[in-house]
Amino acid sequence: MAGILVIWAVVVITQNEELVTKAIAVFLILLGYFGITQVDVFSKRTPQSTLVEEPKVKYVNSGLDDTELVRLHKLLIEILQTEKPYLNPELTLQNLASTINIPVHHLSQVINEKEQKNFYDLINEWRIQEFLREVKNEKNKNYTLIAIAYDCGFNSKASFNRNFKKYTGKTPTEYLTDAQ
């Protein structure tokens, strides 16, 4: 604003075209410099002082109330304990939802809200727990760790090792060595 006022003052007082042109050039150079040095002008971030973050309600339009969530969660845990669908390496959210006989989006909501994790994390956690039970079983002493992992629903060594370390903080070998 002050720059424009200075230019107008030069125009009105001096009426010298060369001086006006130089004043405009200096004004544009300064305007460009200060514009570029303002980082938030070119970023998509909202400045923190004006950021008002509202909590996200993920399932605001869901048809499930708390009572139904609890009921479905208990049903999910019961199915996981009795039928052990996680032993199937091809298990999907859709397969599990049809086993429980509920819509996929309801099952996803139950897992997200009651377990505080996604479908794959939940299933892999159950597979790791099953692996830890099976590796202690005397009848499995002659099997390799990866063979037991495959029997627990993992379909690759990399997936097993990654998830095992994620849940226990150790590799399978480290974990079993420490357990002895």
Q: pLDDT by residue for the chain (180 residues), tens digit each?
A: 676 776 667 677 877 788 778 878 887 887 777 777 776 655 555 555 556 666 666 777 777 889 999 999 999 999 999 999 999 999 999 999 999 999 999 999 999 999 999 999 999 999 999 999 999 999 999 999 999 999 999 999 999 999 999 999 999 999 888 877
Number of folded domains that form the chain: 2
Instruction: Provide the pLDDT for residue 150.
Output: 97
Do 9 and 72 fall within a single domain?
Answer: no
Tell me whether residue 163 is in a domain: yes
Q: Which residue type sits at 50?
A: T
CATH number at residue 150: 1.10.10.60
For the chain, list the strands marked E by DSSP. none
**Residue 101 zone, left/alpha/beta (φ > 0; ψ -120 to 50; rest):** left
Do 24 and 110 fall within a single domain?
Answer: no
Tell me whether residue 98 is in a domain: yes
Query: Residues 98, 106: contact at Cβ < 8 Å?
Result: no
Do 68 and 126 fall within a single domain?
Answer: yes
Do 73 and 36 fall within a single domain?
Answer: no
Give the whole-angstrom CA distance, residue 70 versus residue 66: 6
Identify the three-state secondary structure at position 98. helix
Closest CA to 112 of 64, 155, 159: 64
Only one residue has tokens 């099953």, namely 130
Tell me whether residue 46 is in a domain: no
Instruction: Provide the pLDDT for residue 62.
Output: 76
Tell me whether residue 175 is in a domain: yes
Range of the domain at 96: 62-180
Do 115 and 173 fall within a single domain?
Answer: yes
Instruction: Provide the pLDDT for residue 49.
Output: 53
Do 77 and 16 fall within a single domain?
Answer: no
Do 101 and 169 fall within a single domain?
Answer: yes
Do 70 and 28 fall within a single domain?
Answer: no
Tell me whether residue 47 is in a domain: no
Instruction: Provide the pLDDT for residue 108.
Output: 95
Instruction: Provide the pLDDT for residue 102.
Output: 94
Tell me whether residue 174 is in a domain: yes
Tell me whether residue 132 is in a domain: yes
